[in-house]
């Protein structure tokens, strides 16, 4: 984004012709939430609750969880916050939810799959989230990680609603969930694409391995085609679809995602201003043109070049 575009960012995400796209932050701790609020984020699109367990090897009591979540939600009273239930396993191991040795942890019991085995842990977390929502005054939604099917999404939605949480979503970060986005959306109120894991599972390329980083490039047309499927399904169902993976932090790619029908982008706080300014500098039709060019490109490099040229 240019300096002049930067000056135009007024804290409300939208294209120059008024297509609304919420610019949100990813957070994991109270300090992150303060930084995000100062950066002008309109809300939190991903609160990674597992960060509360970095130094703890037992499950926190509900009251302690509630206090930890409230501290993060506090700066966002009256604003939208999406709290994600624990995403334990693989790249985010939690001691108190340690799995038996698995040959392929990224393909094993992680994310919502842990919740199927430990329903009490999930229900206590949902209770704490509902309590923190009430205490903080933040406009809280809850979502589950690593959902693979519409059936799993429905299972989670039932449990979350039973805990008094009325707005429930799931992450789309497994290709099967993207391919069945319509059915997934029938079960929940919104979805949020986790492009870090969605790339990992689409390209069969470990997200932590530098040697395969070019496959995990969010400009890869195969990844963007999955985002397009989800954007179309969201439009058809009249429900919101966000992106909360690293893809959302790239100001140029943010235009592509907007053109694909994504209505909120959540990123590290440092990217909020540049992404907001990038969207404010173009029309929605420009975003749609950028999206069409990127999706049709033969390579990630060609996708980036085509969109840069459109400007």
Q: Is 134 annotated as a binding residue?
A: no
Whether the Cβ atoms of residue 223 and residue 195 lie closer than 8 Å to each other: yes
Whether the Cβ atoms of residue 256 and residue 3 lie closer than 8 Å to each other: no
Dist CA 233 CA 99 (whole Å): 35
Residue among 52, 244, 279, 300 flagged as catalytic: 244
Binding mask 24-63 for ligand PEP (x = CB under 6 A): ----------------------x-x---------------
Whether the Cβ atoms of residue 6 and residue 273 lie closer than 8 Å to each other: yes
Counting residues that bind Mg ion (by CB under 5 A) gives: 3
Verify binding: residue 87, ligand PEP, rule CB under 6 A: yes
52 catalytic residue (yes or no)? no
Verify binding: residue 216, ligand PEP, rule CB under 6 A: no
Among residue numbers 195 through 214, which ones bind ligand PEP (CB under 6 A)? 195-197
Provide the minimum distance between the beta carbon of 112 and Mg ion in the complex, in angstroms, as a whole number. Answer: 11
Dist CA 12 CA 94 (whole Å): 36
Which pairs count as long-range contacts for 157-162, CB under 8 Å and 24+ apart, including other chains?
157/187, 157/188, 159/119, 159/122, 159/123, 159/126, 160/126
Among residue numbers 156 through 195, which ones bind Mg ion (CB under 5 A)? 173, 194
Provide the minimum distance between the beta carbon of 189 and ligand PEP in the complex, in angstroms, as a whole number. Answer: 19
244 binds, among ligand PEP, Mg ion, none (CB under 5 to 8 A by kind): ligand PEP
Supply φ then ψ for residue 174, to 5 degrees.
Answer: -120, 130
Whether the Cβ atoms of residue 265 and residue 275 lie closer than 8 Å to each other: yes
37 binds, among ligand PEP, Mg ion, none (CB under 5 to 8 A by kind): none
Residue whose CB is nearest to Mg ion in the complex, by number: 197
Instruction: Write out the E strands in the chain.
Output: 22-27, 44-48, 80-84, 139-144, 168-172, 190-193, 241-243, 264-267
Verify binding: residue 176, ligand PEP, rule CB under 6 A: no
The residue (of 51 and 96) whose beta carbon lies closer to ligand PEP is: 51
- Which of 81, 99, 100 has the alpha carbon at shortest distance from 26? 81
| Tokens 């930067």, residue located | 6
Verify binding: residue 244, ligand PEP, rule CB under 6 A: yes
Binding residues: 48, 84, 173, 196-197, 207
Binding residues for Mg(2+): 173, 197
Residues with a catalytic annotation lie at 244
Q: Which residues bind Mg ion (CB under 5 A)?
A: 173, 194, 197
Q: Which residues bind ligand PEP (CB under 6 A)?
A: 46, 48, 87, 173, 194-197, 244-245
């Amino acid at each position: 984004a240019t300096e002049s575009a930067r000056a135009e960012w007024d804290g409300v995400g939208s294209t120059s012709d008024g297509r609304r796209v919420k610019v949100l932050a990813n957070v994991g701790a109270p300090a992150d939430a303060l930084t995000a609020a100062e950066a002008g984020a309109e809300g939190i699109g991903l609160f990674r609750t597992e960060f509360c367990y970095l130094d703890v090897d037992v499950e926190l009591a509900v009251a302690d969880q509630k206090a930890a979540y409230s501290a993060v939600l506090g700066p966002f009273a009256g604003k939208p916050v999406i709290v994600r239930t624990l995403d334990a396993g693989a790249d985010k191991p939690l001691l108190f939810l340690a799995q038996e040795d698995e040959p392929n942890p990224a393909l094993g019991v992680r994310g919502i799959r842990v919740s199927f085995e430990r329903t009490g842990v999930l229900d206590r977390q949902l209770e704490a989230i509902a309590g923190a929502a009430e205490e903080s005054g933040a406009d809280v939604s809850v979502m589950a990680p690593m959902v693979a099917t519409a059936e799993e999404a429905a299972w989670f939605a039932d449990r979350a609603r039973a805990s008094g949480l009325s707005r429930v979503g799931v992450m789309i970060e497994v290709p099967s969930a993207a391919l069945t986005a319509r059915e997934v959306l029938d079960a929940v109120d919104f979805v949020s694409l986790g492009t870090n894991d969605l790339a990992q599972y689409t390209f069969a390329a470990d997200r932590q391995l530098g040697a395969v980083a070019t496959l995990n490039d969010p400009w890869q047309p195969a990844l963007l085609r999955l985002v397009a499927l989800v954007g179309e399904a969201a439009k058809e169902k009249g429900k919101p679809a966000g992106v909360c993976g690293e893809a959302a932090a790239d100001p140029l790619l943010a235009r592509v995602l907007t053109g694909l029908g994504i209505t909120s982008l959540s990123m590290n706080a440092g990217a909020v201003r540049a992404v907001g300014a990038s969207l404010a500098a173009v029309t929605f039709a420009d975003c749609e043109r950028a999206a069409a060019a990127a999706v049709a490109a033969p390579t990630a490099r060609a996708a980036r070049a085509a969109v840069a040229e459109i400007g």
